[in-house]
Amino acid sequence: MFKKLKKIIFPVAKFFFDKYTLKQRSYTYEDITVQISAEVFPPHFTISTKILLEYIKPLNLTNKHFLELGCGSGIISLFAASKGANVTASDINHVAIHELEKAAVANAISLQVVYSDLFENLAEQTFDYIIINPPYYPKAPKNTKERAWFCGENFEYFEKLFTQLPQHIAPNTWMILSEDCEIEHIKKLAAKNGLSFEVILEKSVVKEKNYIFKIQKS
Ligand SMILES: C[S@@+](CC[C@H](N)C(=O)[O-])C[C@H]1O[C@@H](n2cnc3c(N)ncnc32)[C@H](O)[C@@H]1O
């Protein structure tokens, strides 16, 4: 019933959401403010970023090596760095990278910002934490902005990620997914590369179940 209602509401909500995000907006979490332009994944109304922020909030991250793979606005990376982590924030979106560099200066927070297609430019580094909020709708992205949402018609983002991940896996490699996406298919792609998923958080927001999975070598 709720899923049907969501299908009806979605186009209307998307129309207003697209209009709202056309303008640059600011987003603040715990005294850290980032400017979000139209090109960058907006954490305002999307649930996933906030769930990850709340999940890492109680952690002692002092001196931990922390990677946010696909950092978007970088609010998670900045927050982790403010908690004492040694943070690398990477993305394939040049606008996101540039804006995060500016936000780091504006918030007087130090972190490493790297342009990288998945692990391509991160080859030599190891991490205690790898946090991933992936694009998961199976459609081909038409431009860089859409790479925040669409993982390719045949889940190409996940195919490539799971091929690379076994060489980089961290003790805490976490991925957030919603029940709206094809979780079982994504798990199968991971399993092909010897990776398994364990739920470490389940959280319902507006009747949508979200999961943080810990990814490990099986
Ligand atoms: C759903 S957004 C999440 C952004 C941010 N981590 C957050 O939680 O607010 C996914 C991000 O992954 C990035 N991305 C997509 N494909 C990528 C790739 N192949 N390599 C690196 N980043 C990628 C997108 O540009 C986008 O910023």
pLDDT tens digits, 102-153: 999 999 999 999 999 999 999 788 999 999 999 999 999 999 999 999 999 9
Please answer whether residues 91 and 33 qualify as being in contact, where contact means their C-beta atoms are separated by less than 8 angstroms: no
| CA distance linking residue 28 with residue 65, whole number of Å | 24
**What's the gap in Å between 8 CA and the centre of ligand 1?**
27
pLDDT at site 79:
98
CATH class of this structure's domain 2-217: alpha beta
Q: Which of 45, 93, 142, 158 to mutate to test the pocket of ligand 1 (most atoms within 8 A of CB)?
A: 93
Tell me, using a 6 A CB cutoff, whether residue 68 lines ligand 1. Answer: yes
Task: State whether residue 211 is helix, strand or coil.
Answer: strand
Tell me the whole-structure pTM to 2 decimals: 0.93
pLDDT at site 2:
53
**What's the gap in Å between 1 CA and the centre of ligand 1?**
31
3-state secondary structure 13-68: HHHHHHHHHHCCEEEEECCEEEEECCCCCCCCCCHHHHHHHHHHCCCCCCCCEEEE
pLDDT at site 23:
73
| Model confidence band, residue 9 (pLDDT cutoffs 50, 70, 90) | low
Report which secondary-structure segment, H or E, holds 7.
helix 2-22
In the chain, where the domains are located = 2-217
Tell me, using a 6 A CB cutoff, whether residue 43 lines ligand 1. Answer: yes
CA-based nearest residue to 118, from 81, 78, 67, 80: 67
The strand pair at 86-91 and 65-69 is best described as: parallel
| CA distance linking residue 106 with residue 142, whole number of Å | 32
How much is the mean pLDDT over the chain?
92
